[in-house]
Amino acid sequence: MLIDSHIHIFPEIVKNRRQNYSEDDNFRFLYENPSSKIISYDDSLLYMEHDHVDKIWALGFSWKSEKMTDIHNNYIRECSKSDERIIPFASIPSKPFKNAESYIADIKFSGFKGIGEISFYTEIFSEEQWTYIEEIFSSCLKYSLILIMHVNEPVGHYYTGKYVTDFGRLTGLIQKYPDLKIVLSHWGGGIFIYELMPEIRQAFKNVYYDTAASPYLYDQSIYKYASDITGSDKILFGTDYPLLGTGRYLEGMKKSGLTAESINNICSKNAEKLLKVSG
Ligand SMILES: [Zn+2]
């Protein structure tokens, strides 16, 4: 069984007419360049078949506007209705807005399993923004939704979509909401290393990490080292498709020296367990 817990799908209309959506800062920033691939649900089916993926966690996009977020969420919900291999995740506008909590309640009651990947590509991490992020944390906890958050490594080469998240602020929020089931994407930008500190390990007991973009960022030994630090039961296989397919991840995991059991945890067991406990 192979579950890809990090892929982004878009409505056909956005895929086919991307130029029509460029007034949204976040969308323009990430997808103005035609070489940034956009895929629809149909494309994800081809990917699943080709790469032998059994299930996907379908993530949307951090639009600024509520209108585009709604359109995108409806699309993902509709796709998941007729296909149980699609695990639906909702987006939430990246900019603070009124009634975020009731918006998140609606997400829960519409059948989504979680929210994500939340990203703040063109936002400034102001106090207002952090207050909003806290509201997302507390509402996801209240409604038992998994939260997937984009976090980059604060060092190293630049690429589109990379930004620095204050690890101190992020840790503070996780410590305040330790029961929230949260997935920090892209290995949480390396924050997992602090799980070697007993108090962080304790506070991060419900924190998971996904492997998204690994081959572009890290030596393949990341799989083994991360697994040694956090335990292989806290790592989720995610490709960030269409950024990359499964091949380089699976090869890297095998070569890194992970046991078959750890690979099985990462590739399917953890994702299934996480969905179950989040109800
Ligand atoms: Zn991301």
| Burial class (CB within 10 angstroms; exposed 0-12, middle 13-18, buried 19+) of 116 | buried
Give the up-direction half-sphere exposure of residue 113: CA atoms within 13 A in the CB hemisphere: 29
Residue 194 CB partners (closer than 8 Å, separation 6+): 167, 171, 200, 204
**If you measure from the C-alpha of residue 47 to the centroid of ligand 1, how many angstroms do you get, rounded to a whole number?**
19
| Band (42; pLDDT cuts 50, 70, 90) | very high
Please tell me the distance between residue 257's alpha carbon and the centre of ligand 1 in angstroms.
Answer: 26
Rounded CA-CA distance 66/72 in Å is 10
Over pLDDT 70: what percentage of the chain?
A: 100
CA 245 to CA 228: how far, in whole Å? 25
For residues 42-67, average pLDDT: 97
Q: Given a cut of 90, is residue 98 above it in pLDDT?
A: no
pLDDT tens-digit profile of 106-130?
999 999 999 999 999 888 899 999 9
Token digits of residue 121: 């590509």
Q: How far is the CA of 36 from the centre of ligand 1 (A)?
A: 14
How high is the pLDDT of residue 277?
78
Burial group, residue 29, by CB count within 10 angstroms (0-12, 13-18, 19+): middle
How remote is the CA of residue 39 from the centroid of ligand 1, in Å?
16
Using alpha carbons, list the distances in angstroms from residue 12 to 18, 38, 156, 230: 10, 9, 35, 39
Residue 9: what pLDDT? 98
pLDDT at residue 150, rounded to an integer: 97
For the cut 80, the answer to whether the pLDDT of residue 151 exceeds it is yes
Stronger pLDDT, 98 or 105, i.e. the higher one? 105
Instruction: Please write the tens of the pLDDT for every residue from 164-196.
Output: 999 999 999 999 999 999 999 999 999 999 999
Q: Which domains are present in the chain?
A: 3-278 (3.20.20.140)
- Which of 60, 74, 58 is CA-nearest to residue 271? 58
Is residue 278 over pLDDT 80?
Answer: no
pLDDT on residue 79? 97
**206, amino acid identity:** N
pTM equals 0.97
- pLDDT at position 279 over 80: no
Output the CA 101–ligand 1 centroid distance in Å: 23
